[in-house]
Amino acid sequence: MTADIAVTHRREASNHSARNVRILRKWIAAEGAAQGRLLFYYAGECYDRKRYGAAVQGYEKLLQEPQGYREDRLIACARLAECYERLGKPSYKLRALLQSFQFDLPHADFCCAIASCFQERGEHMTAIYWYMQALDVGTRDPGFRPVPAACRSWLPHARLSLSYAQLGHWEQALKHNVQALAYMPTDAGLLSNREKLETMVRQTTFEPRQD
pLDDT digits (tens, 9 = 90+) for 115-150: 999 999 999 999 999 999 999 998 888 788 889 999
Q: What is the pLDDT of residue 3?
A: 44
Q: Which domains does the chain have, with CATH numbers?
A: 16-104 (1.25.40.10), 111-205 (1.25.40.10)
Assess whether pLDDT exceeds 60 at residue 184. Answer: yes
Report pLDDT digits (tens) over 62-71.
999 888 899 9
Is the model's pTM score more than 0.85? Answer: no
Report pLDDT digits (tens) over 16-49.
456 555 555 554 444 545 666 888 988 898 899 8
Q: What is the pLDDT of residue 9?
A: 41
Cα torsion 140, 128, 4, 93: sign: positive
Q: Which long-range contacts (CB under 8 A, 24 or more apart) does 52-59 make?
A: 52/83, 52/86, 52/87, 53/83, 53/87, 55/79, 55/80, 55/83, 56/80, 56/83, 56/84, 56/87, 58/34, 59/83
